[in-house]
Structure 1
Amino acid sequence: MNLNRKVTLLFVALAASILIALVIISLYAFRSFALNSSTAHVKTAAEIVRVHLTEAMINGTINKREQFLERLMEVQGLSMARVIRSPLVSQQFGEGLQREMVADRIETQVLQDGQPRFSIIDEIGEPVFRGTIPYIASSRGTPNCLQCHRVQEGDVLGAVTIELLLSGLRKHAMTSVIGIMITVAVFSLLAITLARRLVLPVGDTATEIGEVVQRALKGQFKARVTQRTTDDVGMIAAHVNRLLEYLDHGLSSIVERVAQLTGRMPSGIDNQLETTIDMVNSLADAATFKITIEEDETKAEIYERFGQLLTKRFGICEYSLYETRDTGHLQVIKINGDENQNCLWCNPQILIRSEHCRARRAGHVVDGLTQEHICAAFVADAQGGEVRQHYCVPIIQSGVVGAVVQLVTTQTIAPCLALQVPYILMFIREMAPVLEAKRLTETLRESSLQDVMTGLHNRRFLEEYVETLVATAKRRHTVLAILLLDLDYFKMVNDTHGHDAGDAVLKGVAELLKQNVRSSDLVIRFGGEEFLILLPDTNGEMAVKVAEKIRLAVEQYKFRIAGGELKKTISVGVALFPEDSETFWQTLKYADVALYRAKETGRNRVLRFAPEMWHDENDGY
């Protein structure tokens, strides 16, 4: 119910209430007036009858009182007048006229107690006011009742009953009440009409404001409120219109700017306000996401966080993350949130020949949601069931595709994914520079932890990695074998054949070491011609075998140098952590002691550390 109807109903209710109250008051007033007036008339008529009867008795014309009563009945409104004698008068003067002889119940009560009685009775559907007035004997006044009647002071001599017709009064009362009702109704209608003329603009303006606000809540700010008056209501309408215009202009500007950032312009059927709020919130969330991943240590953490974002925020459980390696090949990072899977939604050939990946080759978005079969490498039925569609986004780093994000969905929910894509792209755009920074950081870090000439890890790497290595061994209760290796008479190579030949020998030794250990083992150039090999989960016997294998491989290898070939030998010292010592660096010293003893006892040999090798002169190691 709008304001106009409420106000109209309020005024109608007030007018009806006033009208009903006036009718009730008028009817009550007329009734009271009729009773009082009838009572006065009856008393007056009764007094006239009493006076006439008294005068008739004094003048000796009492026998003509019947004619008097008949003439009295001709008075307008009177319907009956009769006189009732009391038993005291009948005893003194005998029975009177017929109409004076019969007393009804009310008259009998009046004769007994001398109190007048008044009442309204209904005679043949017409209201009649009846009054019965007693005649009281009194010695006061003229004439003196006790002079003629043998009664006591205050005795009842008789009663006069007068009946008045009330139809005329009732008709007059109804006419008056109807007149009042008509007058009040007319004035009420005039008041309601005037009030509506004053209130209608308020109600209509309020209704329109409500409608435009509802439209505004749906993102529509083009509607305007009609300015009907120049008063405060009109000013409110004008202010609302200016506000809507300001919001429309401001929101349109915000939408354009946000659309530039998100790549999505709201359609005509979108709620412009909700869509803008959603996009702004997404921009804020993307900025927060960027701040969060900037604090992550590695790219792996960033990919993990992005995968959780796809699953928890966007409900995408099927996706692939690929990264471009330095060789140009693609490497699987995640498939459906799992790090230990091969290609699922793409032909595995893309890992060998990355140009088979259209996103990697073209360097722009591949929209398989709107263009089916756009990429020949996509496997739409990899898991059976409903055929899948894809949306691939390349992440550009340093001008080339550094990674590829592949979103996978069924045809049924592909339209939902299409709506989410602009928001996902915001997070990808925020993630791209952070991945690039992490890649550069990892490259710099790897270069600082790598020996430039041999490509092996350097001593700095050992210093950073040793705590992790030791903690792993302690947690798993395993043995870590330490092999310290040193080329025999390496200084002669540099002195005889030059430093180029020495570098070639070191590179060759590095390759031999890598070829003769496991992928989980660590080979480190410890300094100069010294190398360090760490063998996790390896006991003393196996460590010695590995060391002997390496010694033999070096002994049999022919190093190619300028002007010919060269053969070299190597000495190895072996120690075990934590068998030989509870600390890693002390164990390393024991390996060095074993290496020194191997050098001292003839070189080109492998020696396992024994406690007797340690003596006071080794404290300098």
Structure 2
Amino acid sequence: MNLNRKITALFSAVAVGILVMLVAISLYAFRSYSIASSTAHVRTAAEMVRVHLTEAMIHGVIDKREQFLDRLMEVQGLRAARVLRSTHVNEQFGAGMAREMEPDEVEKQVLADGHARYLLENELGDAVFRGTIPFAASARGRPNCLQCHRVSEGTVLGAVTIELSLQELKRSALFTVAVIIVTVALFSLLAIFAVRRLIMPVGDTAQAVERAVQRALRGDFKGRVEKRTDDEIGKIATETNSLLGFLDEGLSRITQRVTQLTGRTPQHDENQLEATIDMVNSLADAAGFKQAIEEDESKTEIYDRFSGVLLERFDVREFSIYEAEGSKQLQPIAVDGVQGAPCRWCDPQILVRSDMCRARRTGHAVNGLIEPGICYAFHPPAEGGARRHYCVPIIQSGTVGSVIQLVVAEERAPALVEQAPYIHVYLREMAPVLEAKRLTETLRDSSLRDAMTGLNNRRFLEEYMDTLVASARRRRIPLAVLVLDLDYFKVVNDSYGHDAGDAVLKALAGVLKRTVRASDMVIRFGGEEFLIVLQEADAEAALKVAENIRSAVEQMRVQVAGAVLQKTISIGLSMFPDDSDTFWQAIKFADVALYRAKENGRNQVVRFTPDMWSGQGESY
């Protein structure tokens, strides 16, 4: 029920209530008035009868009293009038006339106690008021009743019963009440009509505001409220329209800007307000995500945090994160949230032939959600039902640095299509951070690596030495330190130039890397001097490795302009912590052994012994 109907119903109920109370009060008033009026008439008629009977007795015409009663009956509204004699009168004067019949129960009570009684009765639909008035003997006044009647003072001599018809009075009362009802009803209708004229603009404006608000809750702020009056209600309509217009314009501008940021196109049938709120929340969450990953130390931590976003915020449980290695390889970073897991959703050939990956090759998103089968490299396992995928490349320095692959069951593809723009926001925030981390790692790696040979440099050793030593002590494993130096390397530079010298150093670096394990450290210590740290190797094993290196270098042939060079190498060996409690001292001891090898004729391996040390306890 709207406001207009409620107000109309309220005023109608009030009017009906007033009408009902007015009728009830009127009927009660008329009844009370009728009873009071009838009582007065009955008392007057009874007094007239008493006076007539007294006068008739005085004048000796008491036997003519019946004629008086007959004439009295001609009074309009008087239905009956009769005289009752008490037993005292009958005993003194004898029985009365036939009309002075035996009293009924009410009349007997009046004759007995001398109190008047009045009754309102309904006889055959006619309202009748009956009153029985007693006549008491009294010596006061004229005539003196005790002169004729031998009774004591106050004795009831008789009574008069008068019956009045109230039918005419009743009709008059009902007519009057009817006139009142009609008058009040007409006035009420006029009042209700006037109220509706005043209230209707309020109700109509309220309904219009309600409809506009309902549209606004659905994201549509184009609803307007018609201005019906020039008072406060009209002002409400005007201000409401201004507010809706402001919100509509503001939401449109916000939606336009947010759409530019997210790339998501609003749908005509969706709640624009809720969609905009979702997009703004996504932008805020993505900004928080970017702030968090900017403080991460490595790209691995960033990928791990993004995996958490896919799992927790977007409920994507199946996905792969690939990182490009060189121009032809892809490395799986995380698969289904597991770091370092093997390739699962694609042909493993993409790991060695990255051009098979459509996103890697084109640098564009591959939407297998809408176009299944667009990428031939997508090979999900047969178990688990049909799958669809969405692959997004992350561009770094103009090339694809990473590929994010999202995989969902076929029935969830439409939901992921809706989520894709929000995921793009995270990827857009993540891309520059990944690029910065990549550049930082590249710079860091270049500062720790020898540019010509590709080996780690002395700075790398200085930075990681504490970690290396702590690990060796914790695991209680020995470290073998080899210091190597090419024999007569200066002759190569002097005779063939520095380009030939560089070629020899590069070839030597290759031999050293091939001869030792991946866990061992090969370092260009400076010039033609190299250092190798063998982990978990005792002295005997270390000597064997050193000898293999010496032999491999001796067999090495380096083609330079106009000549083939063959070089030898001298190697000094010491053990940590057997030979020294400090790692740098162990390096010094290996260097001492190297010089002993040089002194002994070069092209040999020399193990450090305490008698070689002449530093008088000096530390390196």
| TM value normalised by structure 2 | 0.91
Residue identity opposite 2:13 in structure 1: A
Partner Cα distance (1:593, 1:399) in 2: 49
Partner Cα distance (1:275, 1:162) in 2: 92
* 1:596 equivalenced with 2:595 (yes/no): no
Helix, strand or coil at the partner of 1:514: helix
* 1:155 equivalenced with 2:155 (yes/no): yes
Change (3 A) 1:474 1:194: farther
Match of 2:617 in 1: 618
Helix, strand or coil at the partner of 1:620: coil
Helix, strand or coil at the partner of 1:309: helix
Q: Is the 8 A contact 1:544 1:574 kept in 2?
A: no
Match of 2:432 in 1: 433
Match of 1:343 in 2: 343
Partner Cα distance (2:388, 2:176) in 1: 89
Helix, strand or coil at the partner of 1:296: coil
Change (3 A) 1:573 1:120: same
Question: Which of 481, 484, 489 is equivalent to 2:482?
Answer: 484
Q: Deviations over 1:280-313 (max 9, x none)?
A: 2212222222222111111111111122212221
Mapping of residues 353-372 of structure 1, within 5 Å: 353-372=353-372
User: 1:242: Cα distance to partner?
Assistant: 2.4
Q: Deviations over 1:531-563 (max 9, x none)?
A: 443444445554454344434434554566675
Change (3 A) 1:473 1:309: farther
Change (3 A) 1:355 1:98: same
* 1:416 equivalenced with 2:415 (yes/no): yes
Change (3 A) 1:539 1:528: same
Match of 2:214 in 1: 214
Change (3 A) 1:153 1:537: farther
Residue identity opposite 2:585 in structure 1: K
Q: Is the 8 A contact 2:493 2:500 kept in 1?
A: no
Residue identity opposite 1:514 in structure 2: K
User: 1:443: Cα distance to partner?
Assistant: 0.6
User: 1:570: Cα distance to partner?
Assistant: 2.6
Change (3 A) 1:472 1:383: farther
Mapping of residues 502-513 of structure 1, within 5 Å: 503-513=502-512
Q: Is the 8 A contact 1:478 1:537 kept in 2?
A: no
Match of 1:142 in 2: 142
Q: How many residues align?
A: 614
Partner Cα distance (2:427, 2:66) in 1: 124
Q: Structure 1: where are the runs of 5+ without partners? A: none
Q: Is the 8 A contact 2:469 2:583 kept in 1?
A: no
User: 1:494: Cα distance to partner?
Assistant: 7.1
Match of 2:83 in 1: 83
Match of 2:170 in 1: 170
Change (3 A) 1:276 1:205: same
Partner Cα distance (1:324, 1:495) in 2: 39
Partner Cα distance (2:354, 2:105) in 1: 128
Match of 2:441 in 1: 442
Q: Is the 8 A contact 2:387 2:407 kept in 1?
A: yes
Residue identity opposite 1:479 in structure 2: I
Q: Is the 8 A contact 1:218 1:273 kept in 2?
A: yes
Partner Cα distance (2:465, 2:169) in 1: 122
Helix, strand or coil at the partner of 1:151: coil
Q: Is the 8 A contact 1:81 1:160 kept in 2?
A: yes
Residue identity opposite 1:316 in structure 2: V
Change (3 A) 1:471 1:87: farther
Bigger CA drift: 460-469 or 392-401? 460-469
User: 1:613: Cα distance to partner?
Assistant: 8.1
Q: Is the 8 A contact 2:293 2:433 kept in 1?
A: yes
* 1:386 equivalenced with 2:382 (yes/no): no
User: 1:206: Cα distance to partner?
Assistant: 0.9
Partner Cα distance (2:141, 2:490) in 1: 175
Residue identity opposite 1:343 in structure 2: C
Partner Cα distance (1:383, 1:538) in 2: 47
Q: Is the 8 A contact 1:481 1:540 kept in 2?
A: no
Bigger CA drift: 597-606 or 366-375? 597-606
Q: CA RMSD in A?
A: 2.7
Change (3 A) 1:153 1:290: same
Partner Cα distance (2:613, 2:583) in 1: 12
Instruction: Using the aligned pairs only, state the percent identity.
Output: 57
Residue identity opposite 2:430 in structure 1: M
Bigger CA drift: 50-59 or 113-122? 113-122
Bigger CA drift: 520-529 or 174-183? 520-529
Bigger CA drift: 353-362 or 32-41? 353-362
Q: Is the 8 A contact 1:493 1:501 kept in 2?
A: no
Helix, strand or coil at the partner of 1:407: strand
Q: Is the 8 A contact 2:546 2:605 kept in 1?
A: no
User: 1:505: Cα distance to partner?
Assistant: 4.6
Q: Is the 8 A contact 1:575 1:609 kept in 2?
A: no
Mapping of residues 92-491 of structure 1, within 5 Å: 92-379=92-379, 381-470=380-469, 472-473=471-472, 477-487=475-485
Partner Cα distance (1:534, 1:330) in 2: 31
Partner Cα distance (2:538, 2:63) in 1: 163
Residue identity opposite 1:396 in structure 2: I
User: 1:75: Cα distance to partner?
Assistant: 1.3
Change (3 A) 1:469 1:151: farther
Partner Cα distance (1:540, 1:142) in 2: 166
Mapping of residues 502-541 of structure 1, within 5 Å: 503-538=502-537
Q: Deviations over 1:71-91 (max 9, x none)?
A: 212211122212222222222
Partner Cα distance (1:63, 1:545) in 2: 174
Partner Cα distance (2:268, 2:431) in 1: 32
User: 1:391: Cα distance to partner?
Assistant: 2.2
User: 1:518: Cα distance to partner?
Assistant: 1.8
Partner Cα distance (2:42, 2:394) in 1: 115
Partner Cα distance (1:490, 1:111) in 2: 167
User: 1:108: Cα distance to partner?
Assistant: 1.7
Q: Is the 8 A contact 1:544 1:608 kept in 2?
A: no
Bigger CA drift: 165-174 or 496-505? 496-505
Change (3 A) 1:360 1:53: same
Partner Cα distance (1:249, 1:356) in 2: 48
Q: Is the 8 A contact 1:482 1:591 kept in 2?
A: no
Partner Cα distance (1:273, 1:30) in 2: 68
Q: Is the 8 A contact 1:81 1:163 kept in 2?
A: yes
Q: Is the 8 A contact 1:479 1:576 kept in 2?
A: no
Change (3 A) 1:69 1:620: same
Q: Is the 8 A contact 2:483 2:587 kept in 1?
A: no
Helix, strand or coil at the partner of 1:571: strand
Q: Deviations over 1:319-355 (max 9, x none)?
A: 2222222344322222222333343333333232322
